[in-house]
A = this chain, B = another copy of it.
């Protein structure tokens, strides 16, 4: 019994190590640098070990995404709870979202750009993903405006944030006007 439990514990630890190492490597050198060989070397195991934990690279990306989703949800809720008033809350939420995307580009990519084999907007969507959306909904639902479905409004606001995050990081729009764009977004889109 105890032996088997210890093995399971060690196995779970190793799995966490894989995910953490993949994330670290991705943040340091980009997802392209996260090859199964490099990852295996860093965790000091051979390549096939990775495949005893995950189906393939996609699932590893997915695991990083789930971890990131939980963090993002927490960050969003923390930011929202520290602000007073609906307007300030929305502004704080939006700011926290973009900051998370900027500070954790690899995690953000795993979540929304790369294929982590995750199901979205469905029943079998993993809990952390649903919860991250819920964190947005909690604050944004309040400012959807009359006759506007809160979830639909949240999707729209989220899309705008996502567009700002990705286009900025890809160099499609310059970071200079970031503050102004954000103010304008909150001012116009939210029904205050």
Contact = CB atoms under 8 A, between A and B. Distances in A.
A163 B159 contact: yes
B171 A162 contact: no
A189 B159 CA distance: 13
Contacts of A153: 184
A166 B164 contact: no
Interface in A133-167: 148-149, 152-153, 155-156, 158-164, 166-167
A158 B185 CA distance: 12
B181 A156 contact: yes
Contacts of A172: 112, 120-121
Nearest to A181: B156
A184 B152 contact: yes
Q: How many copies of the chain does the oligomer comprise? A: 2
Q: Taking each of A119, A153, A156, which has the highest tally of chain B beta carbons within 10 Å of its own beta carbon?
A: A156
A74 interface: no
Contact of A120 (B156, B158, B171, B177): B171
A83 interface: no
Contacts of A184: 148, 152-153, 156
Interface string A93-113: 000000000000000000011
Interface of A: 112-113, 119-121, 148-149, 152-153, 155-156, 158-164, 166-167, 170-174, 177, 180-181, 184-185, 188-189, 191
